[in-house]
Amino acid sequence: MTQIATIVGGGVIGGGWAARFLLNGWDVRVFDPDPEAERKIGEVLDNARRSLPGLSDTALPPEGKLSFHETMSEAVQGATWIQESVPERIELKQKVYQTLQEHAPKDAILGSSTSGFKPSELQNCASRPEQIVVTHPFNPVYLMPLVELVATEKNAPETVERAAEILSSVGMFPLKVRKEIDAHIADRFLEAVWREALWLVKDGIATTEEIDESIRMAFGIRWAQMGLFETYRIAGGEAGMKHFMAQFGPALKWPWTKLMDVPEFTDELVDLIADQSDAQSGHLSIRELERIRDDNCVGMMRALKANNWGAGEVLNKHDERLIAQSDLPRAMSDIASLDELVVTGRRAVPADWLDYNGHMNEACYGTAFSEATDRLMEIIGCTKEYIATGGSYFTGETHIRYLDETHLGQVVEIRTRVLKGEGKKMQLWHEMYEGDRLLATGEHFLLHVSLETRRPSEPSQEIMDNLAALASAHAKLPASEGVGRYVGQPR
């Protein structure tokens, strides 16, 4: 039976909650007096439908049913979970809870998205305080896994555990906060950074852009995969957290920050943090932690490269410089001789291209050959500027042969010959080498297409002439073994 989640307050956070539950198969009922609520949530859902499924390597369950209701009493009927996301005014929230609890099922969990109030404040004056917990998410709620789960002694342990199970079931990470405190855990960190950033801007030390760059180009990436303490554990080297604390602890008394209310740096504090750090990460050596950190950072920054964003934009610009400095051709004029295959790629195999067998995943050969095709297109004149005018090549057929294993860090080179270059048709042959060792081949058939009509079309005269020149020269070379093979044909 499909479960029901009720969303009270359909703003940015409420809309994110609606998307999180809906796309994980729950029926969602929304109450929000804003006449624009349906449009706003619909737009959030459009973004969620575009991005959330990409986090999973398996299909999400069938989407639930979304409905909008004119009264809270109607919206909460049959609800298993009720998420309150109204504005941060305690009197408003308490009033909402009074109405909700008059009509909601007594066994429903009532979670609040509040970023600042303690659950005891929310439970005050409630007819069933044991039903109310803080479940503070982070935007975008449909993507970010963290939700701070804060309870009081009035909440039965079974209720807290059931809340955690439900949140986990929709792909979230419920962090159970040990003691209630204003702003919980994460927002207290954000507030400290925010206050210091305001001072840096006010005092003319940095601009908003410079502050953002300092985060996203360095410790923001590190924190994203290891957090604060594990990052600093590595900074202590083989001596670990105690060494880091001894080395940098005295800085707490230095006037580095406007936030000078810091705990006294005592041996007891050092031991407490060092012991907790040992329990957290002591089963891994520093070298192991470093390798895990490095693999995670590479994976995240490569994802940023795909969107040409933040550190990814920096890496893409660096790649452009490296290519410009290399002997890889970018245009026909860069090809010293047409009487040999064209080098269209040279790169090291990254960690995220490996599979469970410890060698390059079969799909990544396709990625490497696709990048080589893009380079050949650029060489013959099908550049980004040309594509912007409305013409490009679409791949119609591919045949890849896997001839030898390819491993992490190996520098592979792709050499390309043009088998056919006639009018709309282009047929390419890629060979992937490590040194003189042939690793794989790829045969690809492409058609030139109008991006306006999405139908085959003639390329520019320049492209046709360049393709014809390469095809004619390459036809004089010795035949490449494997051209035209069918799948399963004996070598």
Per the annotation, binding residues for NAD(+) are 9-14
CA torsion sign for 313, 316, 322, 324 is negative
d(CA 109, CA 5): 10
Q: Are 251 and 265 in contact (CB under 8 A)?
A: no
Going by the annotation, the residues of the binding site are: 9-14
CB atoms within 10 A of CB 273: 18
Torsion of CA 108, 74, 113, 96, to 10 degrees: -100
> Which tokens sit at 447?
């058609």
> Which tokens sit at 47?
């973004």
d(CA 389, CA 375): 18
For residue 276, give the nearest of 235, 238, 297, 245 by alpha carbon.
245
d(CA 228, CA 273): 12
d(CA 348, CA 362): 16
CB atoms within 10 A of CB 302: 16
d(CA 486, CA 181): 67
Sheet holding 411-422, edge to edge: 342-348, 411-422, 425-434, 437-450, 391-402
At 60, is the secondary structure helix, strand, or coil?
A: coil
Phi, psi of 308, rounded to the nearest 5 degrees: 50, 50
